[in-house]
Structure 1
Amino acid sequence: MPERVSRQLVYLVYGGKVEYHQEAKYSILSALHHAQGACPRILLYTDEPAQFIGWPVDVITLDDQILRAWTGPATYLHRRKAAAIRDALQYAEQSIFIDTDTFFLASPVKLFERLAKAPWLVDEIEGVWKEYEGDELHTVLAPYLAEQHGIDQRMLLINSGVLGFQGDASQLMDETLNLIDIMHPMVPKIHIIEQFAVSVAARHLGRPAESRGVIKHYFSGKNYWRHMVAAFFLRHGESFSAQAIEAVREVPTDKPRPVWWHRLNFRLRSVFLSSRMRSHAKLAYYATVLCADPYAKACGQGYAQELRRKAIPEGESLSIQPWSRVLTRQQKQRLAKLLGESATGHIP
C-alpha cells in the first residue's frame, strides 16, 4: 500500500477506454510540467495498472470485486469516485481529487495554497439550491432534504471535478456515500448525484475555494479536447518521458478558433441562413478551415463529429443539407473526408 504523505493528487480511471487513459495521462503530464519538480505525490486508482507502468504515480489496482462494491446497492457508477476519495484519505494528510478530463494551467501546489485559506476546495461553485426549482432534481429531493437534513434553499451546489478538504473528511465522505445510496434511486436518471451529495454533506463547511486559473476542466467540451489529447499522444507516444512533460507547452490551453478573416467570411456567407441552420453551418465551416497545426486539425475533427451528431440524419448525403451552401467545393470535399465519404454520400 502507498506510504502516507503530506499532500497528494488523486485520480480515478477505469473502464478500459483509450480516451480515459489518455485524459489521465495528459492531466498528469500537465501537473508535472507546471510543478517544475515540486509536484505532490500522485495516487492513481485504476483497473488497468499496466497502462501506467513507468509513470511517476503510485497505483492502487481496482479489481472487479472492488468496482462492484464501490457502485453501491443502487449500482451507480459515479459512486466509485466518492468511494475512491474516501479510500485515498488514509494515505495523505491532504488529498485533492482531480477528474481526468482536466489539465493544469499552473502548479498543482497552488491548489493546496488555496485550500489552506478555505475549509474545502472545488472545481467551481455552480449556483445555489433555489435556482434549481422546477427541475426534477429539486422537485423530487427538496422535500426529503428539508425534512431529513434541514436543507434550505441557500445551499451551494458545486462541481466536484476538483475536490479537497482542509480537515479530516472521513465522516463527510461516509455521509456522501450514504446520501448517494438514498438519493440515486429517487432520481435514477440524474447522473450528477455524486457531486450533489458532496454539496449536501459539506453544506456546513462554508464557502469553498475554487480551482479556476489552476485547472482547466473541459467536461463541457470533451469532444474537442479528447481529439487534441489524442493528437498529442499520436505525436509523442504514451510512454512516460521528460520530453513528454516538456511537450505539454505545445498544446493550446483554449479551444482553437479560425483566424479572424475566416470568421468574417463565415458571417458573410451565412447571413441568409436561419439561426438553427447557421449553427450547423458554423460547425461545418470551422471543421474545414481549422488546419493550421495538428491540434487545430484535431479540433476540426471535433467540429465534424458534433456536426454529424446534430445535423446530418443517418443515411443522408452532405450535399443535400441546406447549410452546406456556405461551403466551397473544396471545403465540402474536406468535410466529406472528415466525416467519412461512405456516410455522407457523393459530394458534387
Structure 2
Amino acid sequence: MPEYVARQLVYLVYGGKPEYHQEAKFSILSALHRARGECPRILIYTDEPAQFNGWPVEVIGLDLATLTAWTGPASYFHRRKAAAILDSFSYADQSIFIDTDTFFLDSPIKLFDALTESSWLVDEIEGVWKEYEGDDLHKALSPYLADHHGVDQQMLLINSGVLGFREDASHLMSETLTLIDVMHPAVPKIHIIEQFAVSVAARHLGRPAQARGIVKHYFSGKAYWRQMIAFFFQRHGQMFSSQIVDAVRELPTAKPRPAWWQRLDFRFRSLFVPSRYRSQAKLAYYAAVMRANPYVEACGYAYAEELRRKITTQRGNLNDQPWSKVLSGCNRQRLIQMLGALEGEF
C-alpha cells in the first residue's frame, strides 16, 4: 500500500477506454510540468495498473469486486468517485481529487495553498439550490432534503471536478455515500448526484475555494480536448520521460478557433443560410478551415465529428446540404475527407 504522506493528488480512471487513460496521463503530465519539481505525490486508482508502469505515480489497483462494491446498492457508477476519495484519506493528511478531464494551468501547490484560506476546495461554484426550482432534481429532492437534513434554498451547488478538504473529511464522504444511495434511486436519470451529494454533505463548511485559474476542467468541450490529447500521445508516445513533460506546453490552453479573418469570412458566407442550418454551417466551416498547426487541425476534427452527429438523418451528396453553401470548393473537399476519415464514408 502507498506510504502515508502530507499531500497528494488523487485520480480515478477505470473502464478500459483509451481516451480515459490519455486524459489522466495528460493531466498528470501538466501537473508535473507546472509544479517545477515540487509536485505532491500522485495517487492513481485504476483497474489497469500496467497503464502507468514507469510513471512517477503510486497506483492502487481496483479489481472487479471493488468496483462493483463501490457502485453501491443502486449500481451508480459515479459513486465510485466518492468511494475513492474516502479511501484516499487513509494515505495523506490532505488529498485533492482531480477528474481526468482536466489539465493544470498553474502549480498544483496552489491548490493546497487555497486550503489554507478555506475549509474545502472545489472546481467551481455552480449556483444556489433555489436557482434550480422547477427542475426535476429540485422537485424530487427538495422536500426530502428540507425535512430530513434541514437543507435550505441557499445551499451552494458545486462542481466536484476538483475536490479537497483542509482537514480529514472521512465522515463527510461517508455521509456523501449514504446520500447518494438514498437520492440516486429517486432521480436515476440525473448523473450529477455524486457532486450534488457532496454539496449537501459539505454545506456547513462555508464557501469553498475554487480551482479556476489553476486547473482547467474541460467537461463541456470534451470531444475537442480529446482529439488534441490523442494527437499529443500519437506524436510523443505514452512512455514517461522528462521530454514528454516538457512537451505539455505544445497543447493550447484555450479551445482553438479559426483566425479572426476566417470568422469574419464565415459571417458573410452564412448571411443567406437559413437560420435552422446555421449551426451546421458553422461546424462545417470551422472544421474545414482549422489547419494552422496539428493541434488546431485535431480540434477541427472534433468540429467535423459534432457535425457528423447532427447530420446523421441527412445522407446524400454534401453539395445538396443547405449549410454547405458556406464552403469554398477547396474547403468542401477538405470536409468530405474529414467526414470520410471519421465515418468511413459520407
Runs of 4+ in 1 over 3 A off after TM superposition: 314-317, 341-345
CA distance in 2, matches of 1:333, 1:320: 14
Q: 2:201: which partner in 1?
A: 201
Q: Deviations over 1:42-87 (max 9, x none)?
A: 0000000010000000000000000000000000000000000000
The residue type paired with residue 114 of structure 1 is A
Q: Deviations over 1:263-304 (max 9, x none)?
A: 111000001223331111010000000011110010000000
DSSP-derived class of the 1:216 partner: strand
Q: Deviations over 1:11-50 (max 9, x none)?
A: 0000000000000000000000000000000000000001
CA distance in 2, matches of 1:185, 1:31: 37
Q: 1:86: which partner in 2?
A: 86
Contact 2:34 2:107 in 1 (8 A): yes
Taking only the aligned residue pairs, the percentage that are identical comes to: 70
Q: Deviations over 1:241-282 (max 9, x none)?
A: 100000001110001111111111100000122333111101
Contact 1:315 1:343 in 2 (8 A): no
Q: 1:129: which partner in 2?
A: 129
Indicate whether 1:69 and 2:69 are aligned: yes
Q: 2:302: which partner in 1?
A: 302
Indicate whether 1:210 and 2:213 are aligned: no
Q: 2:7: which partner in 1?
A: 7
The Cα of 1:344 is off from its aligned counterpart by 5.4
CA distance in 2, matches of 1:275, 1:102: 34
DSSP-derived class of the 1:76 partner: coil
CA distance in 2, matches of 1:233, 1:343: 23
The residue type paired with residue 185 of structure 1 is P
Give 1:1-150 correspondences, 5 Å limit. 1-150=1-150
The Cα of 1:316 is off from its aligned counterpart by 3.6
Q: 2:167: which partner in 1?
A: 167
Note the residue ranges of structure 1 that are not aligned, 5 or more in a row: none
The residue type paired with residue 253 of structure 2 is T
Contact 1:227 1:302 in 2 (8 A): yes
DSSP-derived class of the 1:184 partner: helix
Q: 1:313: which partner in 2?
A: 313
Q: Deviations over 1:193-222 (max 9, x none)?
A: 000000000000000000000000000000
CA distance in 2, matches of 1:87, 1:218: 26
Q: 1:177: which partner in 2?
A: 177
Give the aligned CA root-mean-square deviation in angstroms: 1.1
CA distance in 2, matches of 1:93, 1:139: 38
Q: 2:254: which partner in 1?
A: 254
CA distance in 2, matches of 1:300, 1:318: 18
DSSP-derived class of the 2:42 partner: strand
The Cα of 1:314 is off from its aligned counterpart by 5.8
